[in-house]
Amino acid sequence: MAQIEVERGGAVSQVSINRPEKKNALTADMYSALADAVDAAEADAGIRVLLLCGKGEAFTAGNDLEDFMRKPWKGQAVPPAVRFIRAVATAKKPIVAAVHGLSVGVGTTILLHCDLVYAAADTKFMMPFINLGIVPEAASTVLLPLLIGPQRAAELFLLGAPLSAQRAYEIGLVNAVVAPDALLPTARAVAQQLAERPRGAVLACKDLMKRAYRAEVERALSEEVSVIAERLDSPETREALSAFREKRKPDFSKF
C-alpha cells in the first residue's frame, strides 16, 4: 500500500497521505513522494488543479520524529521536507487542501501556500516547533503574522497553542468548516469548479496574488531552513529528541 496515493479524476490530481496507522506522520520518503506528486501535476498539461488530503483519522501528525532521527538533515543539500515545501510554495497551478483530525507542524504551515483550504469540524491545528528546539518552516514566520497579526502568530508559534477548526476559520486560515463526511465531497467539488474555469486566467490570477510577496517568501524559506539546520545541532533539540525517545518531559532549564 502506497503511503502517498495519487488519483486522477479528470483534470484534478488528488494526492492523499496514506499512513493511517501513524496518523499520517511524514517520513523522508513520504516527503519525496509528495514532492514528486506536486511536480508531476505541474508538468502534466492535462492536470489543472491539485487536491491535497489525508486518509484515516488525520491529515498529518507532522514529522515522523523516529524517522527524522534516523535521517537527519545534516549532509543533505535539499532535505525531502524542504523539497516538498518548495514544490507547493512555487506551484503555478491552484492547490486545494482538505484537512481533518490532527494537522500538526507542516500540516498547518503548508496550508499557507494552498489556494483554498477546507477543514472538517474535528480538525486540530498545532505548530509545536519551539517544543523541539527549532523554528517554524514553510515561510510561516512571514505568512502567518501577515494573515493573523504578530501577537496571535506568537501565541501559536511560541506557546504551541492548539487551534480549532472554527478558530482557524475565524482568523482566515481556512475557507470553510464542514462536517467530516462532507469534507472530501466539498473539496472535490471546489477543485472541479476551478478545473472548469479559464485555465490561463486562473494561473495569471494566482501569479498576481503571490507576486507581491514572492521575494519575501523566498527569503524566509531560505533563512528558516538555515536556522533549523543550525538548531538541529543545538543542546535544546538534542534534549527534546532524547525526551521524545525516552517518553519523558524535556528539561530546558539547563540551557
Res 58: pLDDT? 98
- CA 26 to chain CA centroid, Å, is 11
Produce one character per residue of 10-41: b if its CB has 16 or more CB atoms within 10 Å, e if not: ebbbbbbbbbeebbbbbbbebbbbbbbbbeeb
| Residues 89, 113 contacting (CB under 8 angstroms) | yes
Residue 118 forms beta bridges with which residues? 98, 176
Q: What one-character-per-residue DSSP string does the chain give?
A: --SEEEEEETTEEEEEE--GGGTTPBPHHHHHHHHHHHHHHHH-TT--EEEEEE-TT-SB--B-HHHHHHS-STT-SS-HHHHHHHHHHT-SS-EEEEE-SEEETHHHHGGGG-SEEEEETT-EEE--TGGGT----TTHHHHHHHHH-HHHHHHHHHS---EEHHHHHHTTS-SEEE-GGGHHHHHHHHHHHHHHS-HHHHHHHHHHHHHTTHHHHHHHHHHHHHHHHHHTTSHHHHHHHHHHHHTS----TT-
**Residue 147 buriedness (CB in 10 A; 0-12 / 13-18 / 19+):** middle
CA-based nearest residue to 217, from 133, 113, 135, 115 = 113
Q: Tell me the HSE value of 44 on the side-chain side, using a 13 A CA sphere.
A: 16
Res 67: pLDDT? 86
φ, ψ of residue 26 in degrees (nearest 5): -95, 125
Res 181: pLDDT? 97
Q: Per the confidence metrics, is the pTM higher than 0.85? A: yes
- Domain formed by 1-180+199-255, architecture: Alpha-Beta Complex (3.90)
**What is d(CA 194, CA 106) in angstroms, rounded to the nearest whole number?**
25
Q: What is the mean pLDDT of each run of 10 residues along the chain (255 residues)?
A: 94 98 96 98 98 98 88 78 97 98 98 98 97 96 97 96 97 98 98 98 97 95 93 92 90 89
φ, ψ of residue 8 in degrees (nearest 5): -100, 130
**What is d(CA 194, CA 48) in angstroms, rounded to the nearest whole number?**
8
Res 122: pLDDT? 97
- CA 18 to chain CA centroid, Å, is 15
